[in-house]
Structure 1
Amino acid sequence: MSDRNPTSKEYGNASYDEEMFRTMSHAAARHTTLDECWDLVKKAFSSEMEAYIFYNKYARDKGFSVRRKKVRRAKRSGALLFRHFLCSREGQRDAKWLDKDVCGRRPRALTLWECQAKLEIKLDQARGVWYVQKNLDEHNHRLDTQDEVPFLWSHRKMKDFQKTEIMAMEGVGIRKHVIMDVLQYRYGGYGEVGIIRKDAYNFSSRYKRSRIADGDAMAVLGLMQSRQKDDPDFYYDYQMDGDEHLKTMFWCDSQSRMDYQSFGDVVIFDSTYRMNRYKMPFVPFVGMNHHRSTTVFGCGQWRSQGASQAGADSR
């Protein structure tokens, strides 16, 4: 009759107890966590930004994302004296957005779990350095793996050379999803790019708006002229008001004109689309082809009904 612990196992000449092994592993993990926490508390930073970069790198290694929240400033000078960094899963979603009767669209997955992990830093005004006032490193959610971390918000940063690459590829007509495939192949994986597809779309949209902001109508007219050079049957017409502001515009390409000749028995237009900035309704003229698919005959923008003549002239 053996008196050996039933949970112990033997491998070669060595035996170990599973329960003892787990206890030792947990103790070692706690000891490592305490060492990391102590090393973080002893840190001092020359600026608030340096502290954020350090904590964000720490979060990347651990598997979570960081966001800024509470600040405290000097009353007279307005200088920053206190900063509060949080885990991105801190807080909770408003209860009304969990009610299907109030929220008409499909509910999204919960991303806030009231996580209490945080880092508080304070400025030592005498020495001019920032020090850690409080650190709490206990998460109530699963930490992301290293394969998932590059897609977290605080770890997605578009570098200047990536912006240049995106602008260059888009300038020659490459679509955004293809641009992301090129970047993924160039950097050796989707996680190595540092951004997601949505970031590329947002950057492209901001870049286009910044280019048009200083040209407005002239930039649009220049685009129309370039389209007409590439497509001789491309048609556009416009009107300017007394202040040299674009008042009305209509355009259609050669394919749209041919579609109108074939399927223009019924024309539908909808003026409910509105640009927030210029307050000019965008009006597409559409119909239905022989496959019962929507086809576009032309598009227009105007501020008065008198611009409808531009659409009639294009016929």
Structure 2
Amino acid sequence: MASITPSMHQEATIQDEVVLSQSTTSNENRDYNKESGISLKPGISLEPRISLEPESSLEPESSLFQHGQAYFSLEVFKYIADQYARTNGFKVILYKGNNRSDGVRSTQVFACDRYGLFKPKPKDPNKKNRNVESKKCNCPWFIRLNHNRNDDIYYISQAILHHNHSLIPVQLMRISSANREIPVEIKEEIFLAKKAGISTSQIQSLLVVKYGPATKKWLIKDIYNLISSDRISRSEFQAHDFLLLLQQKRNNDPEFSYEFELDNDNRLKHVIWTFSLQKWQYMRFHNTIVYDNTYKSN
């Protein structure tokens, strides 16, 4: 049984000799990761790194996630669970947990991304609704970790390790939603390329040239969605700033007036404003000129 080894010459005993993984390897052949503080078998690393291909499988599920298994942090467990799930056809999500009064996460549940039941929202008859089926099927796979105050270590207190659905074949996992997360640095390159006027399809081609064929796991729709969400967030921010500017003008000039209208999603729809000089001119000439400054993007 492998126990915590703080150095090559000195062993540390943690309550009841905390078991991190089953191993028949001798102490001389056991690798030690100083940053995470966990003993591992040779060739296993917990250091996160950017990889364009799925990681190879770690250890058998019964060895990694057995009752009483200890982990130094939730981040360490999440990394191991993600690597295991990625090579076994599913995705692990943070489900629910509790914090103590001191802010420490005392309990955390990790579950299959198909855990739970889908609760449909009321449909708005005035909107076009998409007929999309939910992937949730109340999958029972979950693992609960509890934090021990005495040794500051997380232990597996409960685990159900079977699924009620078919798993994604390994050869298809790289294009599944679980593995299509675009790294932050790649997102910045996409935004920069789009700002330079490069089309979305050309951006995908540039990524393939720069990072290799593995980037094809980011589907073209992922890049479209990323650009679209960025544009929406920036437009909402600009609308908020615009209304603040109008309010500032009213504070400086009580005769300044403006009105605005929001749609059902609380997004800015219409705005009209008039300056004090325009009001004075209307009182003098009894005539009005309205400028329609509607902006439409192609």
Q: Find the counterpart in structure 2 of residue 59 from structure 1.
A: 85
1:74-98 CA-to-partner distances (Å, cap 9, x unmatched) read 2x2232111111111112223788x
- Checking the alignment, whether the CA contact within 8 Å between 1:37 and 1:135 is kept in structure 2 is no
- Checking the alignment, whether the CA contact within 8 Å between 1:180 and 1:197 is kept in structure 2 is yes
Alpha-carbon offset, residue 192 of structure 1:
3.4
Q: Find the counterpart in structure 1 of residue 135 from structure 2.
A: 111
2:268 corresponds to 1:279: yes
Q: Find the counterpart in structure 1 of residue 291 from structure 2.
A: 310
Q: CA separation in 2, counterparts of 1:274 and 1:173?
A: 30
- Alignment RMSD: 4.3
2:129 corresponds to 1:140: no
- Checking the alignment, whether the CA contact within 8 Å between 1:280 and 1:302 is kept in structure 2 is no
Q: Structure 1's 197 and 247: CA in aligned 2 closer, same or farther, altered over 3 A?
A: farther
Q: TM-score, normalised by structure 2?
A: 0.56
Q: Structure 1's 68 and 113: CA in aligned 2 closer, same or farther, altered over 3 A?
A: same
Q: Find the counterpart in structure 2 of residue 91 from structure 1.
A: 116
What letter is aligned with 1:66? Answer: V
What letter is aligned with 1:156? Answer: R
Q: Structure 1's 90 and 244: CA in aligned 2 closer, same or farther, altered over 3 A?
A: farther
Q: CA separation in 1, counterparts of 2:261 and 2:171?
A: 44
Residue among 59, 63, 75 paired with 1:38: 63
Q: Aligned with 1:132: secondary structure?
A: strand
Higher relative contact order (CA 8 A, sep 6+): 2
Q: Find the counterpart in structure 2 of residue 293 from structure 1.
A: none
2:153 corresponds to 1:164: no
Residue among 197, 212, 218 paired with 1:188: 212
Considering fraction of residues, name the structure with more strand.
Answer: 1
Q: Find the counterpart in structure 2 of residue 200 from structure 1.
A: 223
List aligned pairs for 1:233-248, cutoff 5 A. Answer: 241-243=249-251
Structure 2 alignment gaps of length 5 or more: 1-58, 279-287, 294-298
2:96 corresponds to 1:70: yes
Q: Find the counterpart in structure 2 of residue 124 from structure 1.
A: 148
What letter is aligned with 1:63? Answer: G
- Checking the alignment, whether the CA contact within 8 Å between 2:90 and 2:112 is kept in structure 1 is yes
* Structure with bigger gyration radius: 1
Q: Structure 1's 244 and 194: CA in aligned 2 closer, same or farther, altered over 3 A?
A: farther
Q: Aligned with 2:95: secondary structure?
A: strand
Q: Find the counterpart in structure 2 of residue 50 from structure 1.
A: 76
- Checking the alignment, whether the CA contact within 8 Å between 1:280 and 1:303 is kept in structure 2 is no
Structure 1 alignment gaps of length 5 or more: 1-33, 218-237, 249-270, 282-300
Q: CA separation in 1, counterparts of 2:175 and 2:291?
A: 48
What letter is aligned with 1:143? Answer: L
Q: Aligned with 1:62: secondary structure?
A: coil
Q: Aligned with 1:121: secondary structure?
A: strand
Q: Find the counterpart in structure 2 of residue 79 from structure 1.
A: 104
2:176 corresponds to 1:176: no
What letter is aligned with 1:279? Answer: L
Q: Aligned with 1:309: secondary structure?
A: coil
Q: Structure 1's 113 and 278: CA in aligned 2 closer, same or farther, altered over 3 A?
A: closer
Alpha-carbon offset, residue 136 of structure 1:
2.0
Alpha-carbon offset, residue 120 of structure 1:
1.4
